[in-house]
Amino acid sequence: MYDLAIVGGGPAGLAAGIYAARANLKTIIIERGLHGGQMQNTLDIENYPGFENVGGPELSEQMYNQALKVGVEWKFGEVQAAQLEGQPKTLQLRDGVIEANSVILATGAKPRRLGVPGETELAGRGVSYCATCDGAFFEDLDVIVIGGGDSAVKEALFLTRYAKTVTIVHRRDTLRAEAILQDRAYGNPKIRFVWNSQVERIEGDSKVSGVLVRSIKDNSARVLPASGVFIYVGVKPCSDFLMGSGILDEQGYIITGADMATSIPGVYAAGDVRTTPLRQIVSAAGDGAVAAMYAYQYLETL
């Protein structure tokens, strides 16, 4: 029986754990993958205050070690169902149940699928959602990046370390990515742009050979040859196990106020999985700290 159970060990969950354990709460983090969450897939982080440039795995390691040092218990496992009303709250894992008087949901987000033919069939055979993981396979080859947000542009820049050319295919004629990333991309001789175009199909038999794109201006179609396709068309909240809980919006994000509280007493959410105007490491960590403080105050009332 815990004071606080945190689901997810990304920056939101780790920050919540550090604040809760330092407040003497008996705290457990349940994580189904690697500590650090999405940070593990980011080679260079340049916007976390105090670090001009830090590797995602390195920052993950530091946050994780700090959490363990202050007394957070770590449990490897996936929460498959949750009973959050009343006391205690119960989290169902494959190998048992965890009970706690309060819960912070910090399950983050994962890449959205594009939903075109060839995407599933060629996943792992040229189609990827992680440049940091797979970029090195495309040494001196042509690759395509789909999307126009921070992820697409940042990862396109990363891919120029290996690829011969990187073509960003975007459905509009302006990028959504932050200005500093845009400037770097426009100034990189390896990066090309195909504007106002939607990918209709990823081509290839046993591995990717290119993508079929259609112009949304004149409806013309053409095949862009490539050996790799990196898809960055946004993220999807990891909240499937909360369906029916009444705390999700229509897109699956957990609805909270500025105090990170959901509509269920004693249940909080932090980071990318909640309704928030900014999905970054710094805001996820900030959310985690706020959620832990309000969880502490809630526990005081029991």
279 binds ligand NAP (CB under 6 A): yes
Q: Catalytic pick from 3, 134, 150, 272? A: 134
Catalytic residue check, 140? no
152 binds ligand NAP (CB under 6 A): yes
CA triple 243-17-298, angle to 5 deg: 70
| From ligand FAD, ligand NAP, none, interface partner of 234 (C-beta below 5 to 8 A by class) | ligand NAP
24 binds ligand NAP (CB under 6 A): no
| From ligand NAP, ligand FAD, none, interface partner of 192 (C-beta below 5 to 8 A by class) | none
252 binds ligand FAD (CB under 6 A): no
The set of residues, in sequence order, having a beta carbon less than 8 Å from that of 93 and lying 6+ positions away, is: 30, 75, 77, 78, 79, 80
Site string for ligand NAP, 163-202 (x = CB under 6 A): --------xx---x---------------------x----
Q: Residue 273 Cβ, how far from ligand FAD at the closest point, in Å?
A: 6
Beta bridge partners of 96: 93
**Contacts (CB under 6 A) with ligand NAP, residues 204-233:** 232-233
Site string for ligand FAD, 255-274 (x = CB under 6 A): ----------------xxx-
Q: Is the torsion defined by CA of 284, 37, 18, 2 positive or negative?
A: positive
Which position among 22, 24, 47, 249 is part of the footprint of ligand NAP (CB under 6 A)? 47
Catalytic residue check, 133? yes
Residue 213 or 273 having the CB closest to ligand FAD: 273
Q: Catalytic pick from 3, 44, 95, 130? A: 130
171 binds ligand FAD (CB under 6 A): no
155 binds ligand FAD (CB under 6 A): yes
Q: How far is CA 114 from the centre of its chain?
A: 16
**Contacts (CB under 6 A) with ligand FAD, residues 36-95:** 37-39, 41-42, 45, 47, 78-79
Catalytic residue check, 183? no
280 binds ligand FAD (CB under 6 A): yes
Which position among 10, 148, 204, 237 is part of the footprint of ligand FAD (CB under 6 A)? 10
Closest CA to 10 of 283, 223, 241, 299: 283
Q: What is the contact surface with ligand NAP in residues (CB under 6 A)?
A: 47, 114, 146-152, 154, 171-172, 176, 198, 232-235, 279-280
Q: What is the contact surface with ligand FAD in residues (CB under 6 A)?
A: 7-13, 30-33, 37-39, 41-42, 45, 47, 78-79, 106-109, 151, 154-155, 238, 241, 271-273, 279-282, 284
